[in-house]
Amino acid sequence: MSAAIEIQSVTKRYGALTVLDDISLTITPGEFVVFLGPSGCGKSTLLRMIAGLEAVDAGEIHLGGRRIDTLAPGQRGVAMVFQSYALYPHMTVAKNMAFGLENIGLEAAEITRRVTEAARVLEIDHLLDRKPAKLSGGQRQRVAIGRAIVKEPMAFLFDEPLSNLDAALRGRTRLELAQLHQRLGATMIFVTHDQVEAMTLADRIVIMNGRKIEQIGTPMDIYHRPKTRFVAEFVGSPAMSMLPVAAVTAESVEIAGLGRIAAQLPGLSGFDAAGAVLGVRAEDAHVLPADQSGLPFTISVVERLGDRTLLYGRLGTVCDLVVEDTGRSTAVAGQTVSVGFNPAALHLFDAAGRACDGLGG
């Protein structure tokens, strides 16, 4: 079962401190939504408000058409998976998964059915008789997820559930979560500060910053069409480079102290270039052949990643830039080369950080 979640003008305060300010969001049934943002942006607080672990100071939360922010956590129809596994060490896997159901007086036969089915879906049916001490970190996390599945909730809430795992295990568990969502078709909200988790798991990403939602969109919309400078710099690795702008037209941008480059920036009527910057992703900057001229770029660090090479350095004496080259790049630190840019993939941000180009506007 899955259900829509409606968050309507929700505000959260701790005394005089407002941590969430007038947040509104609709999540459709069966959607996998990721709350992404830096530490302290309010993403976990919002999740805990949906779960009933934090009170709502203003606004309403609805699940499946029913208002739930006035209900106790156990009455809301949600199940939460925490960063900590919080398994009972003296109980077997089966007992850990069944414990919550036993507490609400569910019949033994129904408990067995739910535990057996959840274990099958998570491929931990061979672990049901083990205790947590005999499990790996990834297996413990699956048990914690299984404990949520057996509740048959209308929505699953995940609060940074992969942060305790090592890098390799995080990758495998991330894949398992994506497959689990496909099998269950359940509404899921996942909180993380890890953009790789967000980009690989989400149907839509909710970018949060400074008590507000900065942008909502599919992973590729967020990446290719950032609506603010914050989103542009927060999402993507390496981060988008920002070049100072002196003047701009729909067909070109003058980089302060360096010269003019071609651009495709429609809809700029009345644009004020004062304090504006031009955003460039590494894959949209490239080293030009020796017979072509561009802007001078002095390489300081070469990062070889196998299929591609990242060149970190300085554009003239003006600003830092990251350029992507091929895996067979012959570039070396200290070398000065000419670089060009993809005119159709440049991002213009005004002094307030708002996207003003055809891509992000």
Instruction: Kindly state the DSSP code that residue 181 receives in the 8-state scheme.
Output: H
Orientation angle between helical segments 137-149 and 167-184, nearest 10 degrees: 20
Domains by residue range for the chain, with CATH: 5-229 (3.40.50.300), 238-349 (2.40.50.140)
What would the pLDDT profile of 193-209 be if each residue is shown by its tens digit? 989 899 999 999 999 99
What is the Cα–Cα distance from 23 to 9, expressed in whole angstroms?
Answer: 5
Q: Cβ distance 278 to 290 under 8 Å?
A: no
Give the pLDDT of residue 160: 87
First CA to last CA distance, the chain: 37
3-class secondary-structure state, position 218 = coil
| CA dihedral for 270, 276, 277, 279, sign (positive or negative) | negative
Residues above pLDDT 70, as percent of the chain: 98
Q: Give the Cα-Cα-Cα angle 165, 101, 63 (nearest 5 degrees).
A: 75
Instruction: Kindly state the DSSP code that residue 288 receives in the 8-state scheme.
Output: P
Nearest to 92 by CA among 136, 130, 57, 40: 130
- Give the ranges where 166-241 is alpha helix by DSSP (H): 167-184, 195-201, 219-224, 229-234
In the block, residue with structure tokens 């012959």: 330
Regions in the chain scoring below 50 on pLDDT: 360-361
**What is the secondary structure of 270-293 as a DSSP string?**
T---TT-EEEE-GGGEEEPPTTS-
In the block, residue with structure tokens 């996207």: 355
Give the pLDDT of residue 357: 59
Average pLDDT, the chain: 92
